Structure 1
Amino acid sequence: MDICPVLNRSQHTLDNKQIVKTLKLTLQLMELHEENAFKIRGYQSAINSIEREGKPLANLELDELQKIPSIGKGIAEAILSIIASDSHELLDNLLKETPKGILEIMQIKGLGPKK
């Protein structure tokens, strides 16, 4: 059973857009929970790099992911976890800390942790 109504985790082969969607949810929850500002900026920079990346991330190994600008070891490991299991540890922890209903509210245009 999916604990996150925002992500459609029914497909097993993830493309870059689905990986970005998962990372963006992580970013939104990090902002909501007021995580470290440097970590938040790191995720935003990595998302921007992935959106510009032409090749599918699902085919890359850890060292190849780290060659993409703004992707360090931590985010590369998160991407590999997303590819393998549709989620990653930080996202799972943030989802557990987030009250029910907040994810749905965040989907309303104009609402969210930052405007």
Structure 2
Amino acid sequence: MKLADLKKKGGVITDAFVKKTVEWTHTVKGKEITEKFDIHVRKHAFGVMEAMFVDGEAQKYRNARYLSASVFLGPDGEEELPFDDAVNLDPSLGIALLQAVNEVNAPVKN
């Protein structure tokens, strides 16, 4: 296979976004509520994923860093999820977002 063929088949990634529906169940005033909404997930290239998960400082808040680099909100994905907000997400929302991001990026398991 030639490089041009790989590119045509999507083997070389350039800022691709994938729309995903997320379901988040949480409790408000003692009542369980399920929110269903769309996000846009950045499909990361191999080198970006590798750089994101190098040892050292990047290990701190690893999942929040991953979400911040991957989750985009709004009808067209124009709004980034800031790192500080990713750190402070409700845990159940963080897990729901992480699941959507993992479905798009299928990271290699350690």
TM (norm. structure 1) is 0.29
Specify which structure has the higher proportion of helix: 1
TM (norm. structure 2) is 0.30
Specify which structure has the higher proportion of strand: 2
Give the structure with higher Rg (CA).
Answer: 2
Which structure has more relative contact order (CA 8 Å, sep 6+)? It is 1
